[in-house]
Structure 1
Amino acid sequence: MHLISSAFPDICIVPALPEHAEALAVLVRENREHLQAYLPAVLQLAAVADAGAYLQAAAARAASGDVLEWHIFSGTALCGSIRLKEIDAADRKAKMGYYLARHFQGRGIAGACVRAVLAHAFGALDLNRIQLQCAAGNQASMALATRLGFTLEGVLRQGECLNGVFVDLHVYGLLRKEFVPDGASSRK
């Protein structure tokens, strides 16, 4: 999975590799405030050694099929990450998470990249259901989920502790039969 679409010729998605450690550390350092709000755990990857250790572990998780993680590049610049976790082959489902550097947001890149991973999940991985969870204040992720055809299935009250405060999590689900790869809505 490399080229996203003709609309984004310089954007590609590649498996997260240990060789990306320096680029990941730079992305985290340059986006500290942006990531702090909803992904404070990612801030632990600001040092190259920590990013490298994380990516080594990510490669091992990918080899076992537990978690698949991809990096989003714009040319040679790492601009984000997408992963499928809690992959359950028996029940054909997984959870998805993603982030994008602040200065790459608002261009449709996240939507195109998430759509590409969804196509892979529902195609090559033969999954039937993908779940997304967004903190209640994360309006951008909630809007993206809706644009991609996800259904809000409920709220996990105080489902996550972010920066020392319990926040509600909005739970979204997308079924294979609802997914439209070209971006048109399948629901009326």
Structure 2
Amino acid sequence: MFATKITGNAELRPLEPWQAAEFLAHVEKARANIEPYIPWAELIVDEEAARRFLRRYADRQAADEGRIYGIWLSGELVGGVLFRTFEARWGSCEIGVWLAAHAEGQGLVSRSAQQLIDWAIGVRGLNRVEWRCVPTNARSVAVAKRLGMTCEGTLRQAFPYRGDLHDLQVWSLLRAEWEHRPWG
């Protein structure tokens, strides 16, 4: 198994079906912070549901259509990043993220997402990385900006969740922008 250091005490690793119990414990602890924005958070209610969710991403990885990684801080699973979509033949993907409240403010999501962007564009040769979030999720908007993404617009009432239709912002980073980023 690989692990990538993202800070002195944090690392990014694949999140796999055999880790269902740890994933469930994390979701239960972080649920209040992530559930307002992430529909799957309310579906992970037992170990079998956690295993099914992680298995779906394992299957998607095998098909080259998605991947999921956990963020561990001092040995504790505190969040994650994923390729919600991964379309190699179209040259595009979408990154999604989540994090427990007690781990916020340490740059874990930004650094982890940057790892995924660098791999998608630099290794896999994709041209476009997307980031989608509700406009009221200020933390997610801030990460998109830190990653050098451009807000392309807002899809009005495009995200049905909990009986309401929410707006959805679309952010992106293109290969040419990635190649000329000031920190690269």
Both structures adopt the same fold (TM-score exceeding 0.5)? yes
Structure 1 residue 104 displacement after superposition: 0.6
2:12 maps to amino acid: I
- Which residue is 2:87 aligned to? 88
2:58 is aligned with 1:55: no
TM, length-normalised to structure 2: 0.91
2:167 maps to amino acid: D
- Which residue is 1:4 aligned to? 5
Deviations 1:122-156 (A, max 9, x none): 12211110011111211110011011100000100
**Separation of aligned partners in 1, 2:49 and 2:125:** 33
**Separation of aligned partners in 2, 1:69 and 1:32:** 18
62-71 vs 39-48, which deviates more? 39-48
Does the 8 Å CA contact 2:78/2:100 hold for their aligned counterparts? yes
**SS of structure 1 residue aligned to 2:123:** coil
**SS of structure 2 residue aligned to 1:37:** coil
Summarize the Cα distance change of 1:180–1:46 in structure 2 as closer, same or farther, 3 Å threshold.
farther
- Which residue is 2:170 aligned to? 171
Map 1:128-147 to 2 at 5 A.
128-147=127-146
Structure 1 residue 18 displacement after superposition: 1.2
**SS of structure 2 residue aligned to 1:86:** strand
**Separation of aligned partners in 1, 2:120 and 2:57:** 18
**Separation of aligned partners in 1, 2:183 and 2:177:** 8
- Matched residues, number: 183
**Separation of aligned partners in 1, 2:182 and 2:44:** 36
Structure 2 segments unaligned to the other structure (5+ residues) = none
Deviations 1:70-115 (A, max 9, x none): 1111232111111113322222111111111111111111111111
Map 1:1-188 to 2 at 5 A.
2-5=3-6, 8-179=7-178, 184=182
Deviations 1:45-85 (A, max 9, x none): 13112101211222111111111111111232111111113
Does the 8 Å CA contact 1:23/1:77 hold for their aligned counterparts? no
Does the 8 Å CA contact 1:82/1:114 hold for their aligned counterparts? yes
69-78 vs 147-156, which deviates more? 69-78
Q: Percent of counterpart pairs with the same letter?
A: 27
1:61 maps to amino acid: R
Structure 1 residue 180 displacement after superposition: 6.3
Structure 1 residue 9 displacement after superposition: 2.1
**Separation of aligned partners in 1, 2:18 and 2:85:** 25
Summarize the Cα distance change of 1:185–1:166 in structure 2 as closer, same or farther, 3 Å threshold.
farther
Structure 1 residue 10 displacement after superposition: 2.1
41-50 vs 154-163, which deviates more? 41-50
RMSD: 1.9
Structure 1 segments unaligned to the other structure (5+ residues) = none
